[in-house]
Amino acid sequence: MPDTQLEHAQTLIKLGQPEQDEWALSRVEEALPKQRPVIVPLALWQANAEDPQLAPWLASDTLLDDELAKALAKAPLVAIDFPAFTDGRGYSLARLLRERYGYQAEVRAIGDVLVDQLYYMSRCGFDALALRDDQHLDDALRALGAFSVSYQPGVDVQEALFERRLREANGA
């Protein structure tokens, strides 16, 4: 496959910091690219999961069950595709991977990833964010720190604000 069919994130933020993207992304479902490391469609990864230089990307409509989660536990990273910024199913996939299945490696957001979504993505368990090409790094870094307090529990803070305040008031 020609390298022109591989993508690299122009702007990748990992653990809140800009980082050079070492992983190429292939959206071609028929053949493995020669370049490594590479993120490939889930079915292609499943057929070649023994290769440590391959990682899967999940479509937003992927049904995440116990069997798939067990297989994904061996992946060096899992990318979750946002085909449109209005498709929020990727948030649920990331949260399930982290909370229900205990996935510890990198969970990366790919696709139509906008600055406005980054804070919420990080609360759902994404630790790597591949921004859409027209998004600016400075804006993205500011967006990640836009809120100092969250009302709802998340992967990052598992208590709701009222629970934290109640615990602090009781001296616990």
Q: Read off the pLDDT of residues 80-113 as tens digits, 9 standing for 90 and up.
A: 999 998 899 999 999 999 999 999 999 999 999 9
- Write phi, then psi, for 19 (nearest 5 degrees): -150, 150
Confidence of residue 61 (pLDDT cuts 50, 70, 90): very high
Mean pLDDT is lowest, of 40-44, 47-51, 102-106, 143-147, for: 143-147
**Distance (Å, whole) CA 133 – CA 143:** 16
Query: What is the rounded end-to-end Cα distance, in angstroms, of the chain?
Result: 59
What is the pLDDT confidence band of residue 42, given thresholds at 50, 70 and 90? Answer: very high
DSSP 134: T
Cα–Cα dist 166/137, whole Å? 37
Please report the pLDDT score of residue 2 as a whole number. 47
State the pTM of this model: 0.86
The values of phi and psi at residue 107, to 5°, are: -115, 120
List strand residue ranges (DSSP E) for the chain, in order.
6-7, 11-14, 17-19, 24-26, 38-41, 54-58, 77-82, 106-111, 128-131
